[in-house]
């Protein structure tokens, strides 16, 4: 075990800017069920290099290379992000909404938001009674969702309805930006980071000779129950499946390592172990990291993980499954924080994994 100082010395920041493909994904608005903009980014960067690009009724994007190869590897990273949906427009033109995916309700008010309408983007702000106007009791509590609204500056229901409709989706209006030490801050790195990784692996392997065939899927609706992954895993029918998602880093002031284990930004991909993971896939991923001298962190998951990996493993007759995660601080907040080196290392690790597979190896054990 290296001391902290040694670790610091050996830790070099390799990347300080991101691939434009990743930035375009992070700029897109892609709440679950409304992944239109992310789909366009995937098509722009991946369709030209893939042998085929399939879509389905759930909105998944499935790119394949070397389709005659074996084993057939599936990689999944979900392209949806958390957001909101407009439920009710009151007589004064204020919009009330529900959440799409898991939100910290305490963070919702006081934000600039994008409303995705059929006629294009409408900007608004999330309003709530000011702190001075809350009762002593209200100040102690988490706000109720119904005590927050979206203000688009309309003066009546009629005025608002000219611009927005019930059922329009909403996301926070934050743009990605860089921070010191090769860190990238953006909303929805969960899991546009993962969807970038699986498609970038396919892009890098598209000209390479290899035994395996690869289908990289940008799934939809993961945040509301891994829903896009279900038909996609069935359709792809792989031998081996790897989900790429984000994992909680614990390197912040009250990160609970006793509960979660210890995970740091910039300390490499997180490889999951546990019942959801095929032991041979884990062992092979670890061996690949060691061959490439990529640092890695191991996460224990006692049951089905809250990722597309849970769906992949139980698809059809069962699939040898792995899960690789990008360490992330502040998951499901408007400003998620990841390290560019970790993202690049996950890409390199999975390029090595797929290209080193032996013909026909189905990872039975």
In the chain, at which residue ranges do the beta strands (DSSP E only) sit? Answer: 52-55, 61-65, 72-78, 83-89, 95-100, 112-117, 120-127, 149-151, 169-172, 177-179, 183-186, 213-219, 240-248, 270-273, 297-300, 320-328, 336-339
Distance CA 298, CA 289 (A): 12
Closest separation in Å from C-beta 117 to Zn ion: 25
Q: How buried is residue 20: exposed, middle or buried, by Cβ count under 10 Å (0-12/13-18/19+)? A: exposed
Closest separation in Å from C-beta 78 to Zn ion: 8
Q: Which is nearer to Zn ion, 190 or 352 (CB)?
A: 190
Cβ contacts of 318 within 8 Å, gap of 6 or more? none
Sole window of 26-34, 141-149, 189-197, 234-242 interacting with Zn ion (rule: CB under 5 A): 189-197
Binding residues for Zn ion, how many (CB under 5 A)? 1
Distance CA 349, CA 20 (A): 20
SS3 299: strand
Distance CA 94, CA 164 (A): 11
Q: Which is nearer to Zn ion, 101 or 322 (CB)?
A: 101
Sole window of 182-190, 197-205, 252-260, 334-342 interacting with Zn ion (rule: CB under 5 A): 182-190
Q: Which is nearer to Zn ion, 93 or 176 (CB)?
A: 176
Q: Which is nearer to Zn ion, 168 or 222 (CB)?
A: 222
Closest by Cα among 282, 300, 302 to 290 = 282
Phi-psi region of 274 (alpha: psi -120 to 50; beta: other; left: phi over 0): left
Binders of Zn ion among residues 244 to 263 (CB under 5 A) are: none
Closest separation in Å from C-beta 69 to Zn ion: 32
Sole window of 92-100, 121-129, 185-193, 205-213 interacting with Zn ion (rule: CB under 5 A): 185-193
Closest separation in Å from C-beta 326 to Zn ion: 12
Q: Which is nearer to Zn ion, 80 or 341 (CB)?
A: 80
Of all residues in the shown chain, the one whose CB is closest to Zn ion is: 190
Answer whether 356's CB lies under 8 Å from 206's CB. Answer: no
Q: Which is nearer to Zn ion, 210 or 224 (CB)?
A: 224
Sole window of 61-69, 175-183, 186-194, 265-273 interacting with Zn ion (rule: CB under 5 A): 186-194
Closest separation in Å from C-beta 323 to Zn ion: 13
SS3 238: coil
Distance CA 263, CA 260 (A): 8
Q: Which is nearer to Zn ion, 190 or 239 (CB)?
A: 190
Closest separation in Å from C-beta 246 to Zn ion: 7
**175 is annotated as an active-site residue:** no
Answer whether 226's CB lies under 8 Å from 194's CB. Answer: no
Distance CA 247, CA 147 (A): 31
Q: How buried is residue 110: exposed, middle or buried, by Cβ count under 10 Å (0-12/13-18/19+)? A: exposed
Sole window of 10-18, 132-140, 145-153, 190-198 interacting with Zn ion (rule: CB under 5 A): 190-198
Cβ contacts of 259 within 8 Å, gap of 6 or more? none
Pairing of strands 270-273, 183-186: unpaired
Closest separation in Å from C-beta 356 to Zn ion: 30
Of 24, 190, 341, 352, the one binding Zn ion by CB under 5 A: 190
Of 35, 37, 222, 223, which is the active-site residue? 222
Q: Does 336 bind Zn ion (CB under 5 A)?
A: no
Token representation of residue 199 = 């498609």
Catalog residues that contact Zn ion under the rule CB under 5 A: 190
List residues with catalytic annotation: 222
């Amino acid at each position: 075990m290296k001391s902290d100082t040694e670790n610091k010395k050996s830790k070099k920041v390799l990347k300080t800017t991101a691939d434009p493909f990743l930035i375009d994904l992070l700029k897109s608005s892609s709440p679950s069920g409304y992944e239109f903009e992310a789909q366009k980014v995937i098509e722009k960067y991946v369709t030209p290099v893939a042998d085929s690009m399939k879509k389905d009724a759930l909105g998944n994007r499935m790119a394949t290379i070397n389709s005659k190869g074996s084993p057939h590897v599936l990689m999944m990273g979900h392209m949806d992000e958390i957001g909101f949906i407009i439920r009710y427009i009151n007589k004064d033109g204020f919009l009330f909404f529900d959440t799409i995916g898991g939100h910290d309700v305490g963070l919702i008010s006081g934000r600039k938001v994008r409303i995705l309408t059929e006629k294009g983007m409408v900007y608004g702000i999330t309003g709530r009674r000011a702190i001075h106007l809350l009762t002593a009791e209200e100040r102690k509590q988490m706000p109720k969702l119904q005590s927050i609204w979206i203000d688009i500056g309309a003066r009546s229901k009629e005025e608002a309805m000219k611009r927005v409709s019930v059922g329009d989706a909403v996301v926070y209006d934050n743009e990605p930006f860089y921070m010191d030490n090769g860190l990238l801050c953006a909303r929805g790195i969960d899991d546009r980071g993962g969807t970038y990784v699986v498609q970038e692996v396919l892009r890098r392997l598209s000209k390479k000779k290899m035994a395996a065939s690869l289908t990289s899927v940008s799934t939809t609706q993961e945040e509301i129950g891994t829903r896009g992954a279900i038909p996609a895993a069935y359709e792809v029918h792989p031998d081996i499946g790897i989900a790429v998602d984000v994992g909680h880093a614990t390197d912040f002031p009250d990160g609970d390592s006793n509960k979660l284990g210890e995970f740091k930004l910039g300390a490499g991909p997180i490889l999951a172990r546990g019942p959801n993971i095929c032991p041979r896939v884990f062992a092979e991923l670890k061996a690949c990291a060691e061959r490439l001298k990529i640092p890695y962190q191991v996460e224990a998951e006692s049951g089905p993980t809250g990722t597309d990996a849970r769906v992949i493993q139980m698809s059809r007759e069962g699939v040898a499954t792995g899960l690789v995660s990008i360490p992330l601080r502040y998951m499901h907040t408007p400003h998620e924080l990841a390290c560019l080196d970790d993202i690049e290392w996950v890409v390199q690790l999975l390029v090595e994994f797929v290209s080193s597979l032996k013909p026909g190896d189905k990872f039975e054990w």
